[in-house]
Amino acid sequence: MMNTVESYNKIDIADLSIRGTDEGIKQHININGHNIKITPTRPNYGGLRWWFVCPSCHKRKRTLYLSDDYYCRKCLGLNYKSQTYRSNYDVLADEYIHLLHDIYKLKWKIDQHAMQGFINVYEPNLPAYATLYFIPDKPYTMRQTTYDKCVDKLLGMIEQLGQVNRLAMGINKERAEIVQEQYKAAYEYQEKQDK
């Protein structure tokens, strides 16, 4: 398991009330028996901004974390929780969302007018998955070769989306039946449209 900043006690320079306008007033500060060097900088608007100096890398830091002494996040090799925790299902969900976005973006490129309000106007009770199988007709302003390339790319992305979905169903079995029913309804709807 990776170490995260949330699992360490921290001290933030903003939580301390360091007074003084002269840079020579304080060089070190004692926090819980640990002697930590501090240094100021002068912002353009005046006054002083105080920083901790990490005892390991000697860089200015706003926050230090306690292990055996106070160190910066980089020196302790800490990450934020959001950087370390990603389940397989989360990764698949992100990939699924990106594929859906790309599919609808490509459909919009083919024919904007056909995609405007497709769900609301044509079939308000249509499952969301049915729009995946809807392939817009070739607009008269688009070349046939361009349209064919877009449709091939679209079908490839739909197949890839199905693969991601099948992986997700293996991970999240309790939703598998619901998703399968929606796919079936969408496929049946597309079959009716093609007739």
What pLDDT score was predicted for residue 59? 93
Buried/exposed 97-124: b ≥16 CB within 10 Å, e otherwise:
eebbeebeeebeebbeebbeebeeeeee
Half-sphere exposure of 138 (CA within 13 A, CB side): 12
Where do the H-state alpha helices sit in the chain?
A: 73-76, 81-84, 88-110, 112-115, 144-171, 176-194
Q: Which range, 10-19, 65-74, 123-132, 175-184, has the best average confidence (pLDDT)?
A: 65-74
Alpha carbon separation from 57 to 5, 52, 66, 108, 180 (Å, rounded):
18, 11, 15, 51, 55
Q: Considering the entire predicted model, what is its pTM?
A: 0.44
Residues 91-150 pLDDT 10s: 677 777 788 778 878 888 887 766 655 544 444 455 555 666 777 888 888 899 999 998
Residues 12-39 pLDDT 10s: 888 877 765 555 566 778 788 888 888 8
**Average pLDDT of the residues of the chain:** 76
